Structure 1
Amino acid sequence: MQWSLFLFILMGQSFFFTCHLYVYHFIGENKTWDEAQKYCRENYTDLAIVSNMTDMERLRKSTETLTEAWIGLHSYPGKDNRRWYWSLPGLKFNENQTRWESGEPNDNGGQENCLLMNNQKWSDYPCGYKFRFICYNETKQFNKSFHLINYTLTWPQAQRYCRENHTDLVSGLDQLDDNSVKSGSYVWIGVFRDTWRWSDGRNFSFRNWEYVEDLVDGQSNKTCATTMLNRAGKWSSADCNEEKPFFCYDDKLILINESKTWVEALNYCRKKHYDLVSITNLDEQRWIQERVKKASTESVWLGLRYTCTLDFWFWVSDEVVSYTNWASGVECDDCDMSAVMEREGRNQWFKKPDNETFNFICSKN
């Protein structure tokens, strides 16, 4: 049974197929932001969203035009509309898990939208002030994950430095609990707040502003975001009624809010779309987990299955299993098991019996 099912799964996809989970389209016609949003929703998925620096490079390379173009970011000014975010993409800021100094945050200096840490306690602070900062490096450059930078920069400058030379500003409570970070005294860390929202409702925290002023709320009527392709793609804000070219994106994933067994989910995807989704890197994990958060079941099937016959896990799309996000303590070598991603928490992977039923995500041609 195991061998025949394994052959059935692989024969279902007779050729190797790879693509991005979403595709950018540059539209050279000048439109207002609202008109651009309407066009993208009618012809693709929505105005472009940008979730990390990899996306930013893909956006820039999708056109040879050096101009200013709309992206799908819109501001809703007002202090009550601000939200806190971690700088590192993919981390969700939890208002119930914070380490504020007594009386903070308080906007005591006006608009205080960036976070300063002193001996593990947090204070909101104006983003334009200069302090030392801590960078996180996921590749452990010089055998270190965390690097204290001993010269001072504004918060946006510090974020840019960390992204260009490491990975990002230190982000997340797990990173802040590292012994090499705990002793930080008056240092920027990767927390900020703003009133900007993505057009399609996603909660990505990635920002690529050119100027610190764009982290300050309530500035005139410049409430729509542009990417300036003649300035390495850095972002600026503009009056939404101005007419500019724009970027759309086309999502290649679809969440199916029906509960099916793993084999039923596989057959559904292959009949109506392309295949059950595969995840080959951290960027794809972050993109897909945003979809998983909207599922109606506690977990969502992935296209990852274990074969007892050959004793390994494989993606049904024939992608190499080079990236995983298993929860700690999960034993990964049982028969008749496939992988799910949890809807809540850290969106980690668990193994589940094939005959359990969950929502699932299909990839599209």
Structure 2
Amino acid sequence: MQWSLFLLVLLGQCCFFTCRLYEYHFIAENKSCRLRNSTQNQGEAWIGLNNNTGGNRTWHWSLPGVEYIQNDSSWNQNGRTDNELPGNCVRKRDKLVDVLCDSTMWFICYSDKKTLYLIPTLMNWTEAQSYCRSNHTDLASGLDQVDGKEIEALMKSKNSSFRAWIGLFRDSWRWSDGSDFSFRYWDMELFNDTQSNKKCAMTLLNRSGKWSSDECDKEKPFFCYDDKLILIKENKTWEEALDYCRKSHRNLASITNPQEQGWVQDKASNASSPFVWLGLRYSCTLDLWFWVNDKLVCYEKWSKEGKTEECGRAVGMQRGGQYEWM
């Protein structure tokens, strides 16, 4: 069955859904990341990311929610050119090779419309990632993208020495709740991953919320969250799911940034239905999509076939794959 037809059938029936109860809490007390007594520090707050891993690095895809699965046939560790050294960022030619992240080369971006774009501008990996996130969605991520026919066509259009960044990197940072969420928002002017004594991450409240790191024994305000995002394993229509969440919890889940996308898809992966309902619907009166908590749609992760601006439409997230919206 084609996806467009499957969508029409699905959204007229029922699926699992996610209710939201968790909230973020900014604690305006200065504490160290190990909760010792405080010293005054303005404009910074601890988040739950740390580098107390003994240097053990793990591979991640730049696009949040894409799981890294080792596939040796995609790699060629002996494929570096004479001037390339092993590193923690990955570029592609015929195969994948890890090289120094400060190297400069062209790169390949991915958009939510499932389109790849070759950007013929020399940048290091971090600069390339920032460009893709600002102008498209992210660096090409996932083996279905970087080993697919579209990227193969891009590579064949260039000569044999052509190489380009993709969205694969490794680092030793881990989230305190044990999640494998890959999103990073470092302020590269202030962050230095080689500063071995700065092993706890903080958000820079006066620099657009970007992140840096500091010594864990220093004391700062901090953010907590209550993990009360719940997968309801009952099949209901969207209206029934909305009513259930509002009566029994708080609301259907809304997603306004990549971090929330990652948390919701962690829950969605445990569903047995093909999709889970989200709190997003289309208003014919206002001619726009909006969340049931009245927030506008600023972050999106639509599938190519999934956005249909018609009356009576609500949105489900795929329970696997790219966890896209339909």
TM-score band w.r.t. shorter chain: 0.5 to 0.7
8 Å CA contact 2:44, 2:204 repeated in 1: yes
CA shift digits 1:54-73 (9 cap, x unpaired): xxxxxxxxxxx961221111
Residue matched to 1:239: 215
1:226 pairs with 2:202 = yes
What is the aligned-residue identity percentage? 45
8 Å CA contact 2:47, 2:202 repeated in 1: yes
Q: 1:232/1:270 Cα in 2 relative to 1: closer, same or farther (>3 Å)?
A: closer
Which of 142, 150, 153 is matched with 1:172 structurally? Answer: 142
CA shift digits 1:134-159 (9 cap, x unpaired): 2334469xxx74132323x2211222
Q: How does 1:79-94 map to 2 (within 5 A)?
A: 81-94=56-69
Q: How does 1:299-314 map to 2 (within 5 A)?
A: 301-302=276-277
The offset of 1:114, in angstroms, is 0.5
Q: 1:206/1:99 Cα in 2 relative to 1: closer, same or farther (>3 Å)?
A: same
Which of 148, 155, 162 is matched with 1:182 structurally? Answer: 155
The offset of 1:103, in angstroms, is 4.3
Q: How does 1:94-243 map to 2 (within 5 A)?
A: 94-96=69-71, 99-103=74-78, 112-118=87-93, 120-138=94-112, 145-151=116-122, 153-176=123-146, 177=148, 178-179=150-151, 181-183=154-156, 185-211=162-188, 216=193, 219-243=195-219
Q: 1:187/1:241 Cα in 2 relative to 1: closer, same or farther (>3 Å)?
A: same
Q: How does 1:192-341 map to 2 (within 5 A)?
A: 192-211=169-188, 216=193, 219-251=195-227, 253-256=229-232, 259-262=233-236, 269-277=245-253, 285-293=261-269, 295=270, 297=272, 301-302=276-277
Q: Distance in 1 between matches of 2:203 and 2:197?
A: 17
Q: 1:24/1:188 Cα in 2 relative to 1: closer, same or farther (>3 Å)?
A: same
RMSD value over aligned CA atoms? 4.7
Of 177-186 and 233-242, the range deviating more from structure 2: 177-186
Q: 1:341/1:208 Cα in 2 relative to 1: closer, same or farther (>3 Å)?
A: closer
Q: Distance in 1 between matches of 2:49 and 2:72?
A: 27
Q: Distance in 2 between matches of 1:280 and 1:213?
A: 26
* SS of residue in 1 equivalent to 2:69: coil
Q: Distance in 2 between matches of 1:279 and 1:77?
A: 30
For structure 1, the residue ranges without an aligned partner over 5 or more in a row are 1-18, 37-64, 305-314, 330-337, 351-365
Q: Distance in 2 between matches of 1:289 and 1:296?
A: 10
The offset of 1:192, in angstroms, is 0.4
Q: Distance in 2 between matches of 1:235 and 1:254?
A: 28
1:35 pairs with 2:6 = no
* SS of residue in 2 equivalent to 1:190: strand
Q: TM-score normalized by structure 1?
A: 0.59
Q: Distance in 2 between matches of 1:284 and 1:209?
A: 18
Q: Which amino acid aligns with 2:87?
A: E
Q: 1:137/1:27 Cα in 2 relative to 1: closer, same or farther (>3 Å)?
A: same
Q: 1:281/1:98 Cα in 2 relative to 1: closer, same or farther (>3 Å)?
A: farther
Bigger relative CO (Cα 8 Å, ≥ 6 apart): 2
* SS of residue in 2 equivalent to 1:34: coil
The offset of 1:241, in angstroms, is 1.0
Q: Distance in 1 between matches of 2:188 and 2:207?
A: 12
CA shift digits 1:179-202 (9 cap, x unpaired): 553346222211101111122222
Q: 1:225/1:181 Cα in 2 relative to 1: closer, same or farther (>3 Å)?
A: farther
Q: Relative to total residues, which structure has the larger helix share, 1 or 2?
A: 1
* SS of residue in 1 equivalent to 2:131: helix
Q: TM-score normalized by structure 2?
A: 0.65
* SS of residue in 2 equivalent to 1:255: strand
8 Å CA contact 1:280, 1:319 repeated in 2: no
